[in-house]
Amino acid sequence: MTRHHGEIHRSGRAGWLRAAVLGANDGIVSTASLIVGVASAGAGRHEILLAGVAGLVGGALSMAAGEYVSVSSQADAEKADLALERHELTQYPDGELRELAGIYVKRGLQPALARQVAEQLTAHDALAAHARDELGITHELRARPLEAAAASAAAFATGAALPLVITQLAPPSLLNALVIPLSLVCLTLLGAAAARAGGAPAVRGALRVAMWSALAMLATALIGRMIGA
């Protein structure tokens, strides 16, 4: 007897995982950079916190709006393609059947078998077969604007809260000395976790996030110091 082994596929996570990782990463980087820049300019704790909160609210809403618009455009394109395919299936069923069989021939099936597969899939759900094999649209990877927007906003706010908490608790003289390294540690862990969730090497994901984030915070610290001076 053979035992069925379960397989874990990660492609279904692509939409929400991308939005969540991007949101959390941007929340930490942009808010920490904002705090570091304002602190380097010589502002007091109240002004620094005010700037950080404004950055959290504005950034979360901006991420949500941007993600919603972007994914909605993808969803609109998918709907238009499906509507066109539905029309063609109604008007030219024989031609669509030959087209589907041709796709399977190109993938390696013998013409007779490809025709048989196309006929059976067409009888079961013609639109789903063409959506998947002709257009590359599947249920798991369909664009979901609201889901992506909510994930981005929540992730950004969660990430942005970290440097704000550090700012609230840290002594003013040690603000930059604590915000930058602690934010980088969290970003490194986030990059590693995201890479692992997507099936990529954790070290590579952690290093690329940490490198670009460090550059962003150092740049804003330098600009803030120059303006403050």
Which percentage of the chain shows pLDDT scores above 70? 90
pLDDT at 2: 47
Q: What is the pLDDT of residues 46-67, one digit of tens each?
A: 999 999 999 999 999 998 898 8
Q: What is the pLDDT of residues 167-205, one digit of tens each?
A: 999 888 888 889 999 999 988 888 887 777 667 788 887
Measured at the CA of 73, the angle between CA 68 and CA 77, to 5 degrees, comes to 145
Q: Tell me the two tokens of residue 205.
A: 């994901």
pLDDT tier at 229 (50, 70, 90 boundaries)? low
pLDDT at 1: 46
CA–CA distance, 186 with 192 (Å, rounded to integer)? 10
Residue ranges per domain, the chain? 15-225
Q: Which of 26-30, 132-136, 197-201 has the lowest mean pLDDT?
A: 197-201
Could you say which DSSP state residue 142 is in?
Answer: -
pLDDT at 4: 47
What average pLDDT score do residues 101-120 get? 91
End-to-end CA distance of the chain: 77
pLDDT at 60: 93
